[in-house]
Structure 1
Amino acid sequence: MNHPAADVVCRARNNEVVLGYWSVLDSPISNERVAMTGYDYITIDGQHGLMGYSGILSNLMAIDAAHGPAGVVRVEANDAAVIGQALDAGARGVIVPLVDTADDARAAVRAARYPGAGARSFGPMRSGLRVGPAPTEANDAVLVLVMIETAEGLANVEDICAVEGVDGVYIGPSDLGLALGGRTPDDAQVQDALDEAISRVLSAARAAGKIPGIITGDGDGARERISQGFTFVTIASDLTHLEQAARQHLDRARQGGQP
């Protein structure tokens, strides 16, 4: 299908840098506005986001209305039903959480690809309008990224990257830091170990010709990850930025004393 989002998928597979945004709020109006600011993709969080399937569908439609970025879904689990639903809703890619082994990665690919490359049930629904009704066309038009966010996933990252059909690996630094012994997602005591783990995932992805992806907290963090070699880089997130902006404006208004 001739849509700018298809170009984003191609660029990502060619390991060109694509920049995305992360959305946890069930707010199609705000996602449509963000989609018009120039991001290459917007990820709808179906795992920790504050929405169900109808919210995922509505937000993907809002993103597509901007006729620009690709709508991606972080699915709630490595489960064939939820992966298939996200793709039927028109997602241009899925980010699959908690992938610990090569077998887990193969299961994600199997769920996301139609027969010949997988076992996805044929029910094109909205994807038939936006991605492509032909199974082979749909197989080529969607990304499958698997998350490395556990100690087991890190230990098996080279084997995971070798799985055919996996387009890339995506780091969840908060969970990976906890898996490495952090007391909190940003525990400075495990920062060195986390940096080493991130470097290992990046090296494994590059060696296998896979997309290296990661989520960051702000634009400066995104620039740093790009300089390290990451190409699928997300800047998070709508709820975080809403809170930050609200606090900053309040602090500015109160400068010089409480009104």
Structure 2
Amino acid sequence: MTTPSDARPTARDFTDRLRRRERAFGYWVVLDAPVATERLARLGYDYVCVDGQHGLVEYSGILRALTAIDAGGGSVGLVRVGANDPFLIGQALDAGAAGVIVPLVNSADDAARAVSASMYPPLGTRSYGPMRSALRVGPKPPDVNPAIACLAMIETPEGLEDVEAICAVPGLTGVYVGPSDLSIAVGGAYPGDPAVADVFEAALLRIREAAAAAGVAAGIHTPAGADAARRLAEGFTFATVSSDLTHLERAAADHLAAARGEQ
């Protein structure tokens, strides 16, 4: 079992790395299983993201997951919020998240609203009530604002069309590709539809280039470690590897097949 290092990562450390476009690896949590999440946060991933949009996690579960990530000691916690909504963004940050991944960002105006909701005045409109984040990130707005990562998802036809303007929004830390929705957005009948593979890859190239031109990070969700390595080699800044539920099912299936002598 990998153990956490003596140097506990901070939100500011992580966000500064993204701003410098340094490579980072992440993991995705959809289950409300804090003991498992704590163990995952000890493995060496730079971040663990709790999925508040499609995950099986309500607010109390997000809070437990972020606490577990901090207890693990090796990763920072991010939250994909359920919508580009100031309440949901503020709630996730108050719970101690180092940053938010905001879905369905269709325009530069959408991205600007997400940034504003992530920052305290005078840089934004986040209401002051840090609760747990005062312990994990800090209580003073001038210290907190530069420590928070705000990542806009590019996953719709509108978001792809406006990606250059989105990446140029002041205060945005980076963009994050939702490949399932992006595949459908470029004409696929379903996520990963091979009929649109070339168009999909061209969309990824456009997103990477837009992020690089604006000097912001570009991230992507991937199904496996080898895919993450490939995307990083192509020019993405950070990549998330699969999810806890997917890996649980896959490991159980592999062991069953081995027990039956099918491997």
- Range into which the TM-score falls when normalised by the shorter chain: over 0.9
Q: Distance in 2 between matches of 1:5 and 1:133?
A: 14
1:181 equivalenced with 2:187 (yes/no): yes
Percentage of pairs with the same residue: 57
Q: How does 1:109-188 map to 2 (within 5 A)?
A: 109-188=115-194
Aligned mate of 1:236, from 224, 233, 242: 242
> Offset of 1:254 from its aligned partner?
1.2
Deviation of 1:59 after TM superposition, in Å, equals: 0.3
Report the number of matched residues: 256
Say if 2:20 is the partner of 1:11: no
Partner of 2:261: 255
Q: Distance in 2 between matches of 1:5 and 1:31?
A: 18
Instruction: Please list the CA deviations of residues 185-241 of structure 1 after superposition, one character each: whole Å capped at 9, or x if unmatched.
Output: 111001111000010000000000000110101010011011001111110111111
Letter of the 1:237 counterpart: S
What is the distance in 2 between the residues matched to 1:46 and 1:148? 17
Deviations 1:68-92 (A, max 9, x none): 2110000000000000000000000
Counterpart contact for 1:8–1:69, Cα < 8 Å:
no
Could you say if the C-alpha distance between residues 255 and 156 of structure 1 is closer, same or farther in structure 2, counting changes exceeding 3 Å?
same
Partner of 1:87: 93
Checking the alignment, whether the CA contact within 8 Å between 2:105 and 2:111 is kept in structure 1 is: yes
Moved over 4 A (4+): none
C-alpha distance in 1, partners of 2:169/2:21?
A: 17
Question: In the alignment, is residue 21 of structure 1 matched against residue 32 of structure 2?
Answer: no
Following the alignment from structure 1 to structure 2, what is the Cα–Cα distance between the partners of residues 256 and 111? 52
CA distance in 1, matches of 2:235, 2:262: 44
Shift of 1:3: 4.3
TM-score by structure 1 length? 0.97
Q: Which deviations, in whole Å up to 9, do the C-alpha atoms of 1:233-258 show, x marking residues without a partner? A: 1101111111111111111111269x
- Residue aligning to 1:190: 196
SS of equivalent to 1:220: helix
Unaligned runs of 5+ in 1: none
Structure 2 alignment gaps of length 5 or more: 1-6
Task: Give 1:217's aligned residue.
Answer: 223
Q: Residues 100-115 of structure 1: matches in 2 within 5 Å?
A: 100-115=106-121
Task: Give the counterpart letter for 1:5 in structure 2.
Answer: T
Whole-Å separation in 1 of the counterparts to 2:15 and 2:8: 11
* Aligned position for 2:3: none
Return the letter of the residue paired with 1:82: L
Mean alpha-carbon deviation: is it higher for 247-256 or for 103-112? 247-256
Q: 195-204 or 182-191, which moves further after superposition?
A: 182-191
**CA root-mean-square deviation:** 1.2
Amino acid at match of 1:103: D
Structure 2 residue 80 is matched with structure 1 residue 71: no
Question: 1:9 Cα shift?
Answer: 2.3
Aligned residue in 2 for 1:54: 60
Give the drift of 1:5: 2.7
Distance 2:168 2:134 in 1: 30
TM-score normalised to structure 2 length: 0.95
